[in-house]
Amino acid sequence: MAKFEKGHQLAKGRPPGALNRTTEQMRLTINRAVNNTLNTIQTDLEELKKTDPVKALELSMKLMEYAMPKMRSIDLKGSIEVDAKIQQISVNINRTGSEHRD
């Protein structure tokens, strides 16, 4: 029986990044299930709202994270002493805009 020789070019095997059949079938099945769910998600949420409005709201909030980025407050404070004219600069930056205070 012949051993594998390094650099042998006849048998190439699976190319890098190629999926095996099981992985490919699993992804296809999951994608089909997700697509079916997306087609009925609005109706499903409306039905859930009738029976359990709190759970429907919680689910809607979780889904919003995929459509809108979460807002965070950013506070930035600093001071610079350059000469006698400028003694202190204080800047507050928010996501909605910026404020300048002297």
Averaged pLDDT, 30-41:
88
pLDDT at 73: 79
Confidence band, pLDDT 50/70/90 cuts, at residue 83: low
Averaged pLDDT, 7-26:
79
Rg (CA), the chain: 29
Q: Name the residue with higher pLDDT: 1 or 60.
A: 60
Q: What letter represents residue 57's amino acid? A: L
pLDDT at 29: 93
pLDDT at 55: 93
CA distances from 29 to 17, 25, 26 (A): 20, 6, 5
Residues in the chain: 102
pTM above 0.75, yes or no: no
Q: What letter represents residue 58's amino acid? A: E
pLDDT at 54: 93
